[in-house]
Amino acid sequence: MYSGSGTIIIGTLPLRVPITGDQEGMAMVKSTGAKFFHRVFVFIVTLLLMTFLIPGLAAAQQSGIELITQFPSISATAGEDVTFSIKVKNHGGRSELVNLEVSAQPEEWMSALRGRGRNIKQVLVESDGTESVDLLVKIPETAEMGDYELSVTGTGESGSRSILPLTISVSDGRMGEDTLTARYAELKGPGDATYNFRLDLKNNGGNEQVYSLGARLEPGWQISFIPTGESQQVASITIGAGESKGIDVKITPPVTVTEGTYNIFIEAASPTSRVEEELKIIISGTYDLDFTTVSEALNAEVLAGRETRVNMKVLNAGSTALNNINFSSNQPKNWATTFEPDNIEVLEPGESRQITATIKADAKAIAGDYVVTLTASTKEVRSSADLRVTVKTSTLWGLVGLLIVIGVIAGVYYIFRKYGRR
């Protein structure tokens, strides 16, 4: 039966009727048929109810508004700006004006809802339509690492409401450790050389970084940093996220450097990262020899056929010992030069030794200036001194010549007086 309220009531009334044997059989048949028709009737009524009520329930469930975003959880760094793209859907059968607000956010954080480049508070969504808005969030520079919750609430004119929870995970933005690597981390050479290293610095973070460059090295050493391909020295370098740059490092040892191995530590530091690379320079020692006169005057005098002694000084101006120093000379033909001593076995760095060079001029040398080259050498280095040697004739020969001239004049005079009157 159907009630006035629209509710269908199905039931039976208990009846007591006296029956006979034949009547009992007929009653059983009638009872069985009644049950069958009763079940069919209940099935049909249930089917009708499902046909009319379920679409209504589905429509009721789909009515109202909904806020959705493709990425409800985002990772960022302190000081960064984050944007959430939000879609506002209207499942209702008519257009609806939706009020939007950021209903929850951390303290000191700033946010704004924007549509088509402007700050908004409402959005009109057509029936079964969708509109897009953006939530801009400014993370403070002082934000510590961790997860932060935000919420955006949309309320329709019909009273329907949707809350969209969002999460921002603040991290240091690192995708991996930054790297600072040298192509050749170990170089070897003399102490008076300049050593050039090529380093590559990579920013493995998600943001651009400014790296301060520095080094730990012993006093007296000089170092400079020059971006590869440039000529200007720098103290810092800017590298974009995921990018790398080359740095040319020039290192000059002090003049007093001694033979040995020296470690130099190159550092690159940003606000979020610090990396270091160890460089090694092996000083094999510098070979430098200075050979000159004790007085540093490169001139001497000698009589033809005679000897002159020149005091020479040999100095080890390098940073390593000099072994087996030999002396040699280059002089005019028929001249001779000897050294005392003619060999020095070992001369330590900074040590000097005095020797004597004896130069003998040709007996037939005429007066004038001659060049004699004196050389000190080892298998690693050599040094030469060019002496200007002035040859003078003997005074005795001058007197002899004068007497000859006088004798010639006297003879001519005698002959003139004796035979001139004839």
Pairing of strands 110-115, 96-104: unpaired
Range of weakest confidence among 30-44, 48-62, 88-102, 103-117: 48-62
The predicted pLDDT at position 49 comes to 62
Residue 414 has pLDDT above 80, yes or no: no
Range of weakest confidence among 38-42, 105-109, 196-200, 356-360: 38-42
- Using CB atoms within 10 A of its CB, is residue 304 exposed (0-12), middle (13-18) or buried (19+)? middle
Per the DSSP assignment, residues forming a β-bridge with 24 are none
Average pLDDT over residues 197-209: 91
The predicted pLDDT at position 36 comes to 62
Nearest Cα neighbor of 153 from 137, 129, 138, 135 is: 135
End-to-end Cα separation, the chain, in angstroms: 200
The predicted pLDDT at position 7 comes to 37
Per the DSSP assignment, residues forming a β-bridge with 416 are none
pLDDT digits (tens, 9 = 90+) for 27-68: 444 455 566 666 767 677 676 666 555 554 444 445 589 999
Residue 115 has pLDDT above 50, yes or no: yes
Average pLDDT over residues 255-280: 91
The predicted pLDDT at position 38 comes to 66
Residue with tokens 């002496």, as numbered in its chain: 387
CA–CA distances in Å: residue 149 to residues 67, 133, 198, 229: 16, 19, 46, 47
The predicted pLDDT at position 67 comes to 96
Average pLDDT over residues 294-302: 90
Q: Specify whether the CB–CB gap between 354 and 385 falls below 8 A.
A: no
Query: Who contacts 285 (Cβ-Cβ below 8 Å, separation ≥6)?
Result: 190, 191, 258, 259, 318, 319, 320
The predicted pLDDT at position 292 comes to 94
More confident residue, 317 or 400: 317
Task: Please provide the CATH number assigned to the domain covering 65-171.
Answer: 2.60.40.10
Q: What is the distance between the alpha carbons of residues 248 and 230, in angstroms, rounded to a whole number? A: 9
The predicted pLDDT at position 208 comes to 87
The predicted pLDDT at position 10 comes to 40
- CATH 2.60.40.10 maps onto the chain at 65-171, 179-283, 289-395
Q: What is the distance between the alpha carbons of residues 1 and 246, in angstroms, rounded to a whole number? A: 91
Give me the chain's average pLDDT, please: 85
pLDDT digits (tens, 9 = 90+) for 327-345: 999 999 999 999 999 999 9
Average pLDDT over residues 362-384: 93
Q: Specify whether the CB–CB gap between 281 and 192 falls below 8 A.
A: no
Query: Who contacts 286 (Cβ-Cβ below 8 Å, separation ≥6)?
Result: 190, 191, 192, 318, 319, 320
Average pLDDT over residues 273-282: 94
Range of weakest confidence among 262-266, 282-286, 349-353, 378-382: 282-286
Q: What is the distance between the alpha carbons of residues 256 and 260, in angstroms, rounded to a whole number? A: 12
Average pLDDT over residues 92-109: 93
Q: Specify whether the CB–CB gap between 377 and 328 falls below 8 A.
A: yes
The predicted pLDDT at position 320 comes to 83
Please tell me the class of the 179-283 domain: mainly beta
Q: Among 2.60.40.10, 3.30.300.30, 3.40.190.10, 2.170.150.70, name the CATH number for the domain at 289-395.
A: 2.60.40.10
